[in-house]
Structure 1
Amino acid sequence: MQTTTIKIDSAAIVLKLLGDKTRLTMVKLLETHNCCVCEFVEIFQASQPSISQHLRKLRDVGLVNEQRRGQWIFYSINTEHAFFPFLKEVLKQVPKQDYRIKYLEENGTRITCC
Protein backbone atom coordinates (compact mmCIF):
# COMPACT_ATOMS: atom_id res chain seq x y z
CA MET A 1 0.00 0.00 0.00
CA GLN A 2 1.40 3.35 -1.04
CA THR A 3 1.12 6.11 1.52
CA THR A 4 0.89 9.76 0.67
CA THR A 5 3.06 12.10 2.67
CA ILE A 6 2.13 15.67 3.37
CA LYS A 7 4.45 18.60 3.87
CA ILE A 8 5.58 19.45 7.38
CA ASP A 9 3.73 22.80 7.23
CA SER A 10 0.49 21.02 6.36
CA ALA A 11 1.01 18.44 9.10
CA ALA A 12 1.59 21.24 11.60
CA ILE A 13 -1.67 22.94 10.58
CA VAL A 14 -3.65 19.72 11.01
CA LEU A 15 -2.00 18.91 14.33
CA LYS A 16 -2.58 22.44 15.61
CA LEU A 17 -6.28 22.16 14.78
CA LEU A 18 -6.48 18.75 16.44
CA GLY A 19 -4.57 20.07 19.45
CA ASP A 20 -7.85 21.54 20.66
CA LYS A 21 -9.75 18.94 22.70
CA THR A 22 -13.15 20.00 21.34
CA ARG A 23 -12.06 19.84 17.70
CA LEU A 24 -10.26 16.52 18.23
CA THR A 25 -13.39 15.06 19.80
CA MET A 26 -15.54 16.44 16.98
CA VAL A 27 -13.34 14.87 14.33
CA LYS A 28 -13.27 11.55 16.19
CA LEU A 29 -17.08 11.59 16.34
CA LEU A 30 -17.26 12.49 12.65
CA GLU A 31 -15.08 9.49 11.88
CA THR A 32 -18.17 7.29 12.32
CA HIS A 33 -21.16 9.67 12.57
CA ASN A 34 -22.42 12.65 10.61
CA CYS A 35 -23.43 15.34 13.08
CA CYS A 36 -25.10 18.71 13.01
CA VAL A 37 -24.21 21.78 15.02
CA CYS A 38 -27.12 21.27 17.42
CA GLU A 39 -25.82 17.83 18.34
CA PHE A 40 -22.36 19.21 19.07
CA VAL A 41 -23.95 21.98 21.14
CA GLU A 42 -25.65 19.29 23.24
CA ILE A 43 -22.55 17.07 23.48
CA PHE A 44 -20.17 19.84 24.54
CA GLN A 45 -22.69 22.00 26.39
CA ALA A 46 -21.32 24.95 24.46
CA SER A 47 -22.91 27.81 22.57
CA GLN A 48 -23.85 27.44 18.92
CA PRO A 49 -21.44 30.25 17.86
CA SER A 50 -18.57 28.51 19.67
CA ILE A 51 -19.31 25.16 18.00
CA SER A 52 -19.69 26.85 14.62
CA GLN A 53 -16.25 28.48 15.01
CA HIS A 54 -14.63 25.11 15.68
CA LEU A 55 -16.35 23.59 12.65
CA ARG A 56 -15.44 26.57 10.47
CA LYS A 57 -11.76 26.07 11.26
CA LEU A 58 -11.98 22.40 10.31
CA ARG A 59 -13.96 23.21 7.17
CA ASP A 60 -11.60 26.00 6.09
CA VAL A 61 -8.69 23.56 5.77
CA GLY A 62 -10.94 20.98 4.13
CA LEU A 63 -10.95 18.34 6.87
CA VAL A 64 -14.75 18.31 7.09
CA ASN A 65 -17.57 18.61 4.59
CA GLU A 66 -20.88 20.25 5.24
CA GLN A 67 -24.22 19.35 3.74
CA ARG A 68 -27.37 21.39 4.17
CA ARG A 69 -30.56 19.46 4.96
CA GLY A 70 -33.37 21.95 5.26
CA GLN A 71 -32.39 24.48 7.89
CA TRP A 72 -29.69 22.22 9.35
CA ILE A 73 -26.09 21.70 8.30
CA PHE A 74 -24.56 18.27 8.82
CA TYR A 75 -20.82 17.69 9.00
CA SER A 76 -18.74 14.70 7.96
CA ILE A 77 -15.05 13.94 7.48
CA ASN A 78 -13.77 14.77 4.02
CA THR A 79 -12.36 11.40 2.99
CA GLU A 80 -11.29 12.84 -0.38
CA HIS A 81 -8.92 15.41 1.13
CA ALA A 82 -5.17 14.91 0.70
CA PHE A 83 -4.78 15.05 4.50
CA PHE A 84 -7.29 12.25 5.13
CA PRO A 85 -4.73 9.40 5.32
CA PHE A 86 -2.73 11.45 7.84
CA LEU A 87 -5.87 12.31 9.81
CA LYS A 88 -6.92 8.67 9.80
CA GLU A 89 -3.59 7.62 11.34
CA VAL A 90 -3.91 10.25 14.06
CA LEU A 91 -7.48 9.19 14.86
CA LYS A 92 -6.38 5.56 15.32
CA GLN A 93 -4.62 6.72 18.49
CA VAL A 94 -7.69 8.49 19.93
CA PRO A 95 -10.26 6.62 22.05
CA LYS A 96 -13.72 6.09 20.57
CA GLN A 97 -16.32 8.71 21.45
CA ASP A 98 -19.42 6.74 20.49
CA TYR A 99 -20.75 6.97 24.04
CA ARG A 100 -21.45 10.65 23.34
CA ILE A 101 -23.74 9.77 20.43
CA LYS A 102 -25.37 7.04 22.52
CA TYR A 103 -26.08 9.67 25.20
CA LEU A 104 -27.84 11.84 22.59
CA GLU A 105 -29.89 8.88 21.39
CA GLU A 106 -30.89 7.90 24.92
CA ASN A 107 -31.99 11.46 25.67
CA GLY A 108 -33.87 11.87 22.40
CA THR A 109 -31.64 14.68 21.20
CA ARG A 110 -29.87 12.79 18.44
CA ILE A 111 -32.50 13.53 15.84
CA THR A 112 -34.03 16.76 17.13
CA CYS A 113 -32.77 18.73 14.16
CA CYS A 114 -33.61 16.37 11.33
Structure 2
Amino acid sequence: MNQPIDTIAETLKLVSDKTRLTILALLKEREMCVCDIVTILETTQPNVSQHLRKLKVGDLVNETRRAQWIYYSLNTDDKPYLHGILEVLPSMKHELQKLSPDCCS
Protein backbone atom coordinates (compact mmCIF):
# COMPACT_ATOMS: atom_id res chain seq x y z
CA MET A 1 0.00 0.00 0.00
CA ASN A 2 1.43 3.36 -1.00
CA GLN A 3 1.51 6.03 1.68
CA PRO A 4 1.01 9.72 0.92
CA ILE A 5 4.28 11.71 0.93
CA ASP A 6 2.97 13.88 3.79
CA THR A 7 2.44 10.79 5.96
CA ILE A 8 5.90 9.44 5.18
CA ALA A 9 7.48 12.85 5.89
CA GLU A 10 5.71 13.11 9.28
CA THR A 11 6.78 9.57 10.19
CA LEU A 12 10.38 10.27 9.26
CA LYS A 13 10.30 13.43 11.40
CA LEU A 14 9.16 11.29 14.34
CA VAL A 15 12.01 8.82 13.95
CA SER A 16 14.61 11.56 13.44
CA ASP A 17 14.66 12.12 17.21
CA LYS A 18 17.41 10.11 18.93
CA THR A 19 15.26 9.13 21.92
CA ARG A 20 12.34 7.97 19.79
CA LEU A 21 14.68 6.08 17.48
CA THR A 22 16.21 4.38 20.53
CA ILE A 23 12.74 3.46 21.80
CA LEU A 24 11.94 1.91 18.41
CA ALA A 25 15.22 -0.04 18.56
CA LEU A 26 14.23 -1.35 22.00
CA LEU A 27 10.73 -2.28 20.85
CA LYS A 28 12.27 -4.09 17.88
CA GLU A 29 13.71 -6.54 20.44
CA ARG A 30 10.47 -7.01 22.44
CA GLU A 31 7.43 -5.24 23.82
CA MET A 32 8.15 -3.13 26.88
CA CYS A 33 6.50 -1.08 29.60
CA VAL A 34 7.42 2.52 30.37
CA CYS A 35 9.39 1.60 33.51
CA ASP A 36 11.69 -0.65 31.45
CA ILE A 37 12.33 2.09 28.90
CA VAL A 38 12.97 4.65 31.68
CA THR A 39 15.56 2.32 33.23
CA ILE A 40 17.42 1.76 29.97
CA LEU A 41 17.35 5.38 28.80
CA GLU A 42 18.17 6.65 32.28
CA THR A 43 15.61 9.43 31.98
CA THR A 44 12.30 10.35 33.58
CA GLN A 45 8.97 8.63 33.21
CA PRO A 46 7.27 11.82 31.91
CA ASN A 47 9.97 12.17 29.24
CA VAL A 48 9.53 8.58 28.03
CA SER A 49 5.74 8.87 28.18
CA GLN A 50 5.84 12.01 26.03
CA HIS A 51 7.96 10.26 23.38
CA LEU A 52 5.71 7.19 23.45
CA ARG A 53 2.64 9.42 23.09
CA LYS A 54 4.14 10.96 19.94
CA LEU A 55 4.99 7.51 18.56
CA LYS A 56 1.45 6.33 19.32
CA VAL A 57 -0.14 9.38 17.65
CA GLY A 58 2.14 8.68 14.67
CA ASP A 59 0.82 5.10 14.67
CA LEU A 60 4.30 3.63 15.15
CA VAL A 61 3.56 1.81 18.41
CA ASN A 62 0.68 -0.18 19.86
CA GLU A 63 -0.44 -0.12 23.49
CA THR A 64 -1.66 -3.18 25.36
CA ARG A 65 -2.94 -2.87 28.93
CA ARG A 66 -2.16 -5.64 31.41
CA ALA A 67 -3.43 -4.92 34.93
CA GLN A 68 -2.08 -1.46 35.79
CA TRP A 69 0.74 -1.61 33.23
CA ILE A 70 0.72 -0.55 29.60
CA TYR A 71 3.05 -2.40 27.26
CA TYR A 72 4.26 -0.94 23.98
CA SER A 73 5.14 -2.78 20.79
CA LEU A 74 6.08 -1.80 17.25
CA ASN A 75 3.37 -1.06 14.73
CA THR A 76 5.36 -0.79 11.52
CA ASP A 77 4.13 -3.69 9.38
CA ASP A 78 2.15 -1.28 7.16
CA LYS A 79 5.09 1.12 6.85
CA PRO A 80 7.60 -0.62 4.56
CA TYR A 81 9.64 2.57 4.21
CA LEU A 82 10.66 2.13 7.88
CA HIS A 83 11.79 -1.48 7.57
CA GLY A 84 15.23 -0.51 6.23
CA ILE A 85 15.74 1.93 9.11
CA LEU A 86 14.69 -0.62 11.72
CA GLU A 87 16.89 -3.26 10.13
CA VAL A 88 20.06 -1.20 10.54
CA LEU A 89 19.41 -0.08 14.12
CA PRO A 90 21.93 -1.57 16.54
CA SER A 91 20.88 -4.46 18.73
CA MET A 92 19.62 -3.44 22.16
CA LYS A 93 19.90 -6.93 23.68
CA HIS A 94 22.79 -5.88 25.91
CA GLU A 95 20.73 -2.99 27.32
CA LEU A 96 17.76 -5.30 27.95
CA GLN A 97 19.98 -7.45 30.20
CA LYS A 98 20.17 -4.51 32.66
CA LEU A 99 16.47 -4.78 33.45
CA SER A 100 15.15 -6.13 36.70
CA PRO A 101 12.77 -9.04 36.06
CA ASP A 102 10.19 -7.59 38.49
CA CYS A 103 9.92 -4.05 37.09
CA CYS A 104 6.35 -4.34 35.86
CA SER A 105 5.00 -7.14 37.91
Give the paired residue count: 105
Return the match for 1:87 from 82, 86, 103: 82
Structure 2, unpaired ranges of 5+: none
2:102 matches 1:111: yes
Q: TM-score, normalised by structure 1?
A: 0.83
Return the match for 1:33 from 19, 25, 30: 30
Identify the residue that residue 39 of structure 2 maps to in structure 1: 42
Q: Which amino acid aligns with 2:102?
A: I
8 Å Cα contact 1:39/1:110 also seen in 2: no
8 Å Cα contact 1:17/1:58 also seen in 2: yes
Which of 71-80 and 13-22 deviates more?
71-80
Shift of 1:110: 3.9
Matches of residues 1-114 of structure 1 in structure 2 within 5 Å? 4-80=1-77, 82-83=78-79, 85-104=80-99, 109-114=100-105
Q: CA RMSD in A?
A: 1.5
- Percent of aligned pairs with the same residue? 45
SS in 2 for 1:16: helix
8 Å Cα contact 2:20/2:51 also seen in 1: yes
Shift of 1:91: 0.8
1:31-65 Cα shifts (integer Å, max 9, x gaps): 12110000011111111111000000000111100
Q: TM-score, normalised by structure 2?
A: 0.90
Structure 1, unpaired ranges of 5+: none
8 Å Cα contact 1:35/1:76 also seen in 2: yes
